[in-house]
Amino acid sequence: MTPTRKRRLKTLTGASSVISASNDTTPSAGAKRAVELARKAEAQKITGLFTADLLHIDPAGLAGTAGIQEPIIALAALSQATSEIGLIATVSTTFHHPYNLARQIGTLDHASGGRAGWNAVTSSVGEENFGETLPSPEERYERAAEFIEIVNALYDANERDAARRKGSGAVGIDPAKFHRIDYRGRYFSVAGPLNVPPLPQRRPVQFQAGQSEAGVTVGARYAEVVYTSQPKLKDAIAFATDLRRRAASFGRGNNLPFIMNSFHSVIGESDADVARRLREKHERIDYEQGRLKLADMLGGDLDLSGLPLDRPLPETLLPDVTSINGRRGRVEIFRRYARQGLTLRELIIQAKETGHWSVAGTPEQLADAIEERVKSGVLDVLSLHGLGNPDQEDLLLKGLLPELRRRQLIDTDYVGDDFRSNLELPPLAPPTVSQASRTA
């Protein structure tokens, strides 16, 4: 009998922007660079490409280039230049509609041959662009739960052979095999059926980001991969324990949901090289803009101007998390940092990493940190940085990744035929009547 293969850590990297710039020599320069980097990631057997998103331009420039392209369209373009790497689009459940999203991501799954995933987020900005006021976090997550239920029901309702290839090469459909879901909830009413035939994966892979109380519950109930910011190992252990306890209360098994961290690294060739790179990185920080960035991490309604950089932040300035209508999980991380006595300068440095896991070291030292989390059972999917960065790419591709392979922590090749199997997710449960309809 063949022994069961041990699942290895899966890796993601950010998809590059396909956007053209005013000083490009050709309008396709952005798309060509994005294709080049996507193919490079695929050659390295990176499991997936991830796209973040925002629904506005940050007037202070704190978010960089996040949100300057529509993720699904960008990934559809990259799907035609790659063949195995997964494609994950971040989508707001607050300002999108589940039927449209099901059509868009479903079509991406078809176009890519079964490589689509979507990351459900509840936006804390951008309401002005939709003529709405921002709902409370609790309402946003209630809406997200309905949204995900509807999308899954739409995908599950249609029969597998609803579409057939004709001898001519065209596709024919049998309308009798497309079924309604008749979902009526507090936020959405969707009859169905979905007019996109059954997907190669049946469902795209479900990612979810959010670490407030309500966000963790949604992830525990619906997500297959939860994207979380846990800068310290003890925080990661506490989060994983809580998440899995909640998942078990919903009757979930198979170690679901998987846990994903973003790994913000500074890679150097030696301890001295690491120290130099870290020092130069900190010297490039604009600490005045950094005050704005830190204020944003703490909920946005703070004035940190004039405070001394090398003294701790007065506790009287720290907001009550329950008063925040934005990213409460991120606020809690920076409240903890401030209460640990970090100076304003140190808090600004942490804010540059937006509360994510951040490590500086040689490839071997970074691999040690990653291996520690894997062996602690708190890390299943890792988002790596450095691809496309001239200062770090070589050290990532020729240093860190080979070291992780040497330790047999990551895959040396794709292990399946679609994104689900490459992530080594357990098989989806067969659809049931209860999954395909609901009246709230």
Question: According to the annotation, is 94 in a ligand binding site?
Answer: no
Pick the closest to residue 227 from 215, 245, 214 (CA basis). Answer: 215
- Helical H runs in 194-339? 213-222, 233-249, 271-283, 287-297, 328-339
Compute the distance between CA of residue 55 and CA of residue 212 in angstroms, rounded to an integer. Answer: 20
Two structure tokens written together for 2:
């063949």
Compute the distance between CA of residue 63 and CA of residue 54 in angstroms, rounded to an integer. Answer: 9
Question: According to the annotation, is 437 in a ligand binding site?
Answer: no
Question: According to the annotation, is 303 in a ligand binding site?
Answer: no
Q: Cis ω on the peptide bond leading into residue 231 (within 30° of 0)?
A: no
Give the list of residues 6+ apart from residue 389 with CB closer than 8 angstroms, or none: none
Helix/strand/coil for 105: helix
Pick the closest to residue 221 from 144, 154, 139, 136 (CA basis). Answer: 144
Q: Is there a contact between 400 and 117 (Cβ–Cβ < 8 Å)?
A: no
Q: For residue 275, how far is the Cα from the chain centroid?
A: 30
Compute the distance between CA of residue 246 and CA of residue 227 in angstroms, rounded to an integer. Answer: 16
359 bridge partner residues: 265
Question: According to the annotation, is 212 in a ligand binding site?
Answer: yes
Residue with tokens 């490459």: 422
Q: Is there a contact between 132 and 201 (Cβ–Cβ < 8 Å)?
A: no
Angle at the Cα of 179 from the Cα atoms of 176 and 180, rounded to 5 degrees: 135
Distance from the first to the final alpha carbon of the chain: 49
312 bridge partner residues: 343
Give the list of residues 6+ apart from residue 380 with CB closer than 8 angstroms, or none: 7, 9, 10, 225, 255, 258, 259, 260
* Binding annotation for FMN: 53, 90, 141, 212
* Binding annotation: 53, 90, 141, 212
